[in-house]
């Protein structure tokens, strides 16, 4: 009896436990199974291609051409916006022209045919002449010769137009200092194994005529804006080779020869005191030569930095290449010839120098825009490269410190406006090209001359006008 009771009790307990296990298993079973069962394999997340590390350097891509169907600004809409931007205190208006680069249509004109002092905008014409007459890949030599001057023991330093020499070793990655006097001296020393003492002679006869333009203002020369022009110089004749300001050498060729003499001594060559000027004879033998950066690179440097000295040298080199004297007059004749050959009307144009310092210069905004448009559309790679030297707003050259105020309306032109600047005491000018917000290539030239204490506002005005072209669809 007792055994039967125990069996019954055990059976009832088992039934109760089974009843409790059913809901427990239904509720917690899946969680327990998840804990003891290995999770299924999950696919790794897909990384977007842009976030994936590259396997190799990507090949360069070309910028696509602008569409010929891009909308052109409407003159009636553009005119009041430019007129407002070009307002300057005083009675002297800012003149200007805007052309459609593709069709040549005049989109804006105010005094576009008036002859003006263009300041350094004249350098666009100088650069055009240089690359029209010279091989863009040509390099300018500075050499050391011996013999041919009537005596033994003579070393002749001869310059042929490189005025961007450095005093140190030649730097193949630089434009200024691409050819170095220390390198030239070491090459010379390696050819001299007699241990003798030498006289140093300077041959700077490659250029002819006056070394100072008679129309330059004495104050500009005294201020270092320019200096007497010679066919060899250290960094455009700046006395401090490391800078692009301050005083310039009154005799850049002689200063260069003196620096070369010191380099020869450092290289172990005995050099006597004094430096004579004398042309190398026809039977002189070249011992050593260093070569400049290419003409193309020098033209670009001239435009980016607005180098007055280099501009005058490039004009003389263009003259020599065209068969004219390598002089001020020969350079100006060559510039006029090239601009005429491009088909640009030159009526009334007056060229006083190649750098823009001469008060005799007279050019119209329309003539400047015609030159830029012609270069943009030229089949000549060399001529198109002229525009590579134009400074980029807010980024390079003489425009690096302009268009970079984020709170100013001109900021919209940063990185888009490409133009040659021009500044004199009473003149400000800006000539170049810009792509509008609609993708239309526009050419412009804005000039204000005869300014009286308003040069800074005038400069801000021409910058603002170019920025308007960059941001205004104007339709």
- The residues that are catalytic are 120, 123, 306
Residue pair 474/78 in contact by the 8 Å Cβ criterion:
yes
Contacts of 14 (CB under 8 A, 6+ apart): none
Tokens standing for residue 377: 């559309």
Strand partners, 144: 157, 288
**Which of 412, 403, 393 shows the shortest CA–CA distance to 460?**
403
Helix (H, G, I), strand (E, B) or coil at 234: strand
How far is residue 217's CA from residue 450's CA, in Å, rounded to a whole number?
Answer: 17
In 252-274, which positions are buried (b, 16+ CB within 10 angstroms) versus exposed (e)? Answer: bbbbbbebbbebbeebebebeee
CA distances from 225 to 130, 152, 220 (A): 21, 41, 5
**DSSP per-residue letters across 51-100:** GSPPSSPPPP-PPPPPPTTSPPPPHHHHHHHHHHHT--SSS-PPEEEEEE
Number of neighbouring beta carbons within 10 Å of residue 90 = 13
Q: How would you list the strands of the sheet with 197-203, edge to edge? A: 270-277, 197-203, 154-159, 139-146, 285-294
CA distances from 169 to 172, 252, 263, 268 (A): 10, 19, 10, 16
Q: Give, rounded to a whole angstrom, the gap between the first and last alpha carbons of the chain.
A: 111
Number of neighbouring beta carbons within 10 Å of residue 162 = 24
**Which of 379, 378, 410, 380 shows the shortest CA–CA distance to 394?**
410
Strand partners, 109: 97
Q: Do the strands 154-159 and 285-294 form a parallel or antiparallel pair, or are they unpaired? A: unpaired
At residue 301, φ and ψ (nearest 5 deg) are: -60, -40
């Amino acid at each position: 009896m007792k055994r039967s009771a125990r069996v019954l009790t055990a059976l009832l307990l088992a039934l109760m436990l089974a009843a409790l296990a059913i809901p427990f298993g239904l509720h917690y079973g899946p969680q327990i199974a998840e804990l003891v069962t290995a999770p299924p394999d999950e696919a790794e997340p897909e990384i977007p291609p842009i976030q994936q590390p590259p396997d190799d350097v990507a090949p360069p891509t070309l910028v696509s051409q602008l569409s010929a169907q891009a909308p052109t600004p409407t003159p009636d809409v553009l005119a009041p916006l430019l007129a407002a931007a070009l307002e300057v205190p005083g009675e002297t208006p800012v003149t200007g022209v805007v052309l459609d680069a593709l069709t040549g249509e005049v989109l804006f004109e105010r005094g576009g045919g008036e002859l003006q002092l263009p300041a350094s905008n004249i350098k666009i014409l100088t650069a055009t002449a240089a690359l029209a007459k010279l091989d863009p890949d040509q390099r300018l030599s500075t050499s050391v010769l011996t013999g041919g001057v009537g005596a033994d023991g003579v070393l002749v330093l001869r310059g042929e137009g490189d005025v961007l020499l450095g005093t140190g070793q030649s730097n193949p990655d630089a434009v200024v200092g691409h050819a170095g006097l220390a390198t030239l001296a070491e090459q010379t020393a390696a050819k001299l194994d007699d241990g003798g003492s030498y006289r140093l002679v300077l041959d700077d006869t490659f250029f002819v005529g006056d070394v100072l333009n008679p129309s330059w203002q004495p104050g500009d020369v005294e201020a270092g804006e320019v200096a007497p022009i010679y066919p060899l110089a250290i960094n455009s004749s700046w006395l401090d080779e490391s800078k692009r300001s301050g005083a310039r050498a009154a005799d850049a060729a002689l200063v260069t020869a003196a620096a070369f003499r010191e380099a020869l001594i450092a290289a172990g060559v005995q050099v006597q005191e004094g430096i004579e000027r004398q042309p190398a004879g026809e039977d002189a033998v070249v011992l050593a030569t260093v070569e400049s950066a290419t003409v193309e690179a020098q033209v670009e440097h001239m435009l980016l930095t607005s180098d007055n000295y280099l501009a005058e040298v490039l004009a003389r080199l263009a003259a020599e290449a065209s068969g004219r004297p390598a002089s001020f007059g020969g350079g100006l004749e060559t510039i006029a010839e090239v601009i005429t050959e491009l088909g640009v009307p030159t009526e009334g144009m007056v060229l006083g120098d190649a750098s823009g310092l001469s008060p005799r210069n007279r050019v119209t905004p329309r003539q400047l825009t015609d030159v830029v448009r012609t270069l943009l559309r030229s089949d000549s790679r060399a001529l198109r490269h002229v525009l590579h030297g134009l400074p980029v707003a807010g980024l390079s050259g003489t425009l690096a410190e302009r268009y970079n105020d984020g709170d100013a309306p001109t900021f919209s032109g940063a990185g888009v406006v490409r133009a040659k600047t021009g500044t004199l005491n009473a003149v400000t000018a800006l000539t170049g090209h810009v792509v509008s917000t609609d993708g239309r290539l526009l050419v412009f030239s804005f000039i204000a001359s005869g300014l009286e204490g308003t040069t800074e506002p005038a400069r801000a005005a021409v910058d603002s006008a170019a920025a308007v072209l960059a941001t205004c669809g104007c339709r």
